[in-house]
Structure 1
Amino acid sequence: MGATIKHINIKGIDVPVVFEQDKSLPILNLQLVFANSGYIQDNKNSGLASISAKLLNEGTKKIGSTRFAEKLENSAISLQSNIGFETFVIELSSLKDVHEKALVLLKDLLKDPNYDKKVLEKIKTLQKGSLKRKENDYDYIASQNLKKILFKDSALENPSLGTEESLSKINLSDVKKFLTNALDINNLIIVVGGDFEYDEIISKIKKSLKVLNADSKNSSKEIKTVSQTQIKEIKKDTQQAYIYFGSPFNIDVKDQNVYMAKVASFILGGSGFGSRLMEEIRVKRGLAYSAYGYISMNKTYSYFTGYLQTKLESADEAKSLVETLVEEFVKNGVTKEELDSAKKFLLGSEPLRTETLSQRLNRAFTLFYRGLPQDYNKKELEKIESLKLEDLNNYIKSHKEINKLSFSIVRR
């Protein structure tokens, strides 16, 4: 039947609901998505959103993390919080038989988070330990340094996990303030599916959510990718080079030509061994162990990015080849064979993207979140199927900003 978009009123606020009934399994699948409430709201407290989500995974103040976890485990209920750049998400799943207990536990958690100094210090210690281990994760280092180049002076410049210094400064009042502002009904989008009638399940969810505040709405603004090309190198005792690269790609998620950007991205670097980057850099020249690139399109930002892992002695040649390949891609476009191959894959793999309830709900949410109609994907596939080579190549040529490549490299 597919997902539908409805609205319910909670404390005078119309809250969007993405709903799909699925009778194939007796389950409840619920996500509370709080928009503009991810680490985009960290401000100067880098890592605050991540720490706050982890604290919400520590049960209630009344019974503590261990007993709360036992209650979940005894009924095979999953209740987890996580963050993205733009969103703070609370996920709840259970069998239908215990969904009422699951919703009561959700209500308890929202009403009484485990605001305890010892719990916070434990979380911070574990997060600092994770950051310590990442000192030898050269993919992480190269990736973070690239973001510092591309998104300078914006929220995306800072790592979602924070830094040891920023984590040390976070206190309990910071977490309370963050969660109070984030978990507000004004920011809420409900995503729910399972073996339920809409009215039946939504009335129960509504009872659990009345404990939330309805005071203010978080906002966001567009983040521009830095167009000035830069190279940042870090020397480490490594046996290979880690090369991350990126550049502006100016597009809005509601742009009518997004489908062409997807096809171009697939051909340039997103299709594995069939992509230009992989074929030219690894297959033909053997310069890299892996080579990928793609156009990332989000509500608040968009850019082209990719990465290579090469032998130390091949790093410079591989880097130069990336610049040449991207330049040639913009100048000459793609071949008919590449377009036909991309069409075949993108059209043929579509059923795999909507096999599960979770996949369908996530797609329906993404479309709603981006302000797109629910039949958007169907129409997009029709556009891809009828896409002409000349139109695609003209589109690619219009995005010369992709040539303004910056590089973040870790090597010896």
Structure 2
Amino acid sequence: MTKRHGYALLATLATVVVLVSTVIYLTFSGGAGQDTTISAGPSPQGSADRAAAGSWVGTWAAAPAGAEPRTGAGFAGRTLRNVVHTSVGGTSARITLSNLFGTRPLAISHASIALASAPSNPTALPDSLRRLTFGGRPGALIPAGGQLVSDAVRLDVPADADLLVSTYSPTPSGPATYHPHARQISYVANGDQTQNPRGDTYTEQSPYWRYLAAVDVLTREASGSVVVIGDSLTDGVTSTLGANARWTDVLADRLREEAGAPRLGVLNEGISGNQLIPGGQFKAAGPSGVSRFERDVLSRTGVKSVVVVLGVNDLLRNPRYADAGRLLDAMRELTRQAHARGLRVTGATLMPFNGHRGYRPHLDQLRRTINAEIRGGRVFDSVVDFDRALRDPYAPDRLREPYDSGDHLHPSDAGYRKMAESFNLSHLRGSAPAEL
């Protein structure tokens, strides 16, 4: 049997499993309680009803960053329970699953969503577990390189809370699409445990998010979402594990709690090691910011505003060939693409990194040149000045000590909080973009 025929047979078997699961579900679904699935399509009662229900807004997201090493068979026969944290609440929910880096179709025969009974806990809050469907069926086949949005389910989702999103794959699917620096523990169980609210069957812990790319809610709490594209400084690699202490988490708190703030969800599309433009001395982590901007930012649900926090890795990974002009042109290209969608862009200045192993004096000069253009209003619509907020006033090429995690590049929890506090929240309101 040729490899091509083998893959075709596996895909066919996966399809049969999904169809059989559908029949089983339709026959025995009564055991899971009341049907909580709702149509994601137009309301038959007209636009007034839809407006009363709210609008779909992204409450959580993570960028697919690559194919997880040593997962050539995927997670056949196992359940993944991803733990994610909401930025805004709503009355219904739906998820997006990604097989972006898969090499074969990904079969999902069952999936569920629930509220966690406690932070970072794999046990569901009583009566909160909901069976997810895809086009009315309990399972789906996601092609290699593709993604799929579930049907919506009724679930009262709180803001600032942990959700449990569980998926079961019955057959091998090739490498798992994952986000490696979650700063959150998720869980793995043997067999199909998607409908099990208890966490004791989830005997394996995982520092990754797998397959899950987004969670949306139907809400009247927020008018839309702000989407942040960034690298490890946005991914929050040195923030406290499980504490939701990334600067984007603190920004979500501010948008939810401060008087007069625009009510927006916050979607963190940071990838550790990510570069703005492709190429360089070392292999970049994930697709470049320019190449993934449409998928990871502009296509997110309810996006109203964009924040760009990229450029440091382009300097550190290209010390001999780094070019301020190329980076500024790429930043302006992101702004142009956002403007074409009527979106306002806030750009961040590049923070200092003297003391880090990649520091070179000429790279710091390039950083200062880029920051001068950003501050001058010649790149983005508005500026969040992370450099000025976190640098040492007596040594401006270094992070101030309380804000330094110790590696002289990534902030401490206090530094991440300071980054979020540096925002003028009015800059995140949706408005006509400025001409640059």
Interval of TM-score (by shorter of Structure 1 and Structure 2): under 0.3
- Which is strand-richer, 1 or 2? 2
Q: More relative contact order in 1 or in 2 (CA 8 Å, sep 6+)? A: 1
- Which is helix-richer, 1 or 2? 1
Normalised by the size of structure 1, how large is the TM-score? 0.27
Normalised by the size of structure 2, how large is the TM-score? 0.26
**Highest CA radius of gyration, 1 or 2?**
1
